[in-house]
Amino acid sequence: MTDANPARISYAEDSRFLRELMSKRLRDRGYLIVGAPTGDAAAAALSEAAPPDILVTDIGMPGSLDGWGLARLCRELHPGTGILYASSERPDSPLRVADSEFLPKPYGFEALLAEVERLASGRRCAAVLSPDLPPSGRATSAPC
């Protein structure tokens, strides 16, 4: 990313190794990252810092706020924020916010970067969930 105004990403992930590794690699690409080990910590940052352009959140995290709740809160506070769930949970939950993306774990940096770049570019495609998810369990996206 070479934008003069880099996208701000709130990255909520309880795995310290994954959060730090992916945050570093995203920073190396020019993104501004605020990492949080719990949904509660990410929620506090949503209220205190500049609004994120993108929320990347795990779903199962310690504390009182999981990724589903964090995404709902983020959407309430900052309706224009792109939401990317990155989790081993099933993507077809009724708790999932509208117009969100889903990246199944385990994922590599290139897959994360592709989703982040798409959200950062403003080409937010609506996720199309079918009753029969593909074998990967990943929701498919409509073409932009």
> What pLDDT was estimated at residue 137?
40
Distances in Å between the Cα of 12 and the Cα atoms of 36, 78, 89, 123, 136 are 5, 16, 15, 22, 23
Residue for token pair 């996206």:
141
What is the CATH class of 8-141? alpha beta
Does this model's pTM top 0.85? My answer is no
- Backbone φ and ψ for 101, nearest 5 degrees, come out as -115, 160
- Successive 10-residue mean pLDDT values, the chain, 144 residues: 77 97 97 97 90 96 96 95 94 92 96 96 45 39 40
> What pLDDT was estimated at residue 1?
53
